[in-house]
Amino acid sequence: MAIKTYRPYTPSRRGTAVIDYRKLLSGDKPEKSLLEVKQKRGGRNHQGRLTVRSRGGGSRQHYRLVDFGRKREGAAATVKSLQYDPNRSAFIALVQYPDGQLSYIIAPEGLKVGATVTSGAGVEIRLGNTLVLDRIPDGTLIHNIELLPGQKAKLVRAAGTAAQLMAKEGKDAIIRLPSGEMRRVPRMCRATIGQVSNVDHDNVKLGKAGSTRHIGRRSHTRGTVMNPVDHPHGGGEGKTNSGRPPTSATGVKSKGFRTRPKSKSKKHLVKDRRVK
């Protein structure tokens, strides 16, 4: 997808770079049968208390029901249109099965309107097709990967990402994730062939605060400019480093602190992403 740039006719337009959605060549409105109401929470929990700062407002959105399971085996679905999804960085594809059923899937890079995608154990190794890792050749780029058979895709769903199937050992397949981590996944888990669409997402520069507010992100106040009662970094005369390790407003370390839950076992790791 192409990047759209602007002449600097205002200070905020200087350097602005956004995705040119006209290149989707669709123009179709979202399928109403695949939409759900999405309520805003503004960073507040069920008690109404603010738990995540700097969130709120934004344009109203509907949630698109994306099929991450791809359970209809052997049915060749035709791509009707490629569409923008406000809930994720990747584009989505509206596909229609032979019986007329419509469904949304994550669109891989290079998928065209009119193409067909299929899922099943013995389908062809082709862009957009979903099959078990046991049937995918080593070295293939994949996305939408399950962690447990039948669990629906959990890994590699963001724009421009792709994992690589490295090898198969015993009951597991070894996959190199976009972070560099190498992980074991059961061979009977499903994955989709190809790279996730919207590879230029990393090059987007919104340029002004208003564009961020439309997404639902409010302005973020730095802890160093607060008072000591409001943030651990606050207080002091002039600029100061607060004399303590960088932390969040609640005191959780923000640099060099391991945030991976202990419940996520490391026995499936072949290579940690921090090991170069």
Asked if the model's pLDDT at residue 27 lies above 70, the reply is no
Look at the pTM and tell me if it is higher than 0.85.
yes
pLDDT recorded at residue 260: 75
Q: Determine the length of the chain.
A: 276
What does the pLDDT average to over 234-263? Answer: 85
Percent of the chain as helix, strand, coil, to the nearest 5 = 10, 30, 60
Contact in structure between 266 and 274 (CB atoms under 8 Å) = no
pLDDT digits (tens, 9 = 90+) for 61-86: 999 999 999 999 989 999 999 999 99
Mean pLDDT value across residues 125-144: 95
In the block, residue with structure tokens 């945030």: 259
DSSP 106: E
The CATH fold assigned to 3-202 is: OB fold (Dihydrolipoamide Acetyltransferase, E2P) (2.40.50)
For residue 65, what pLDDT is reported?
97
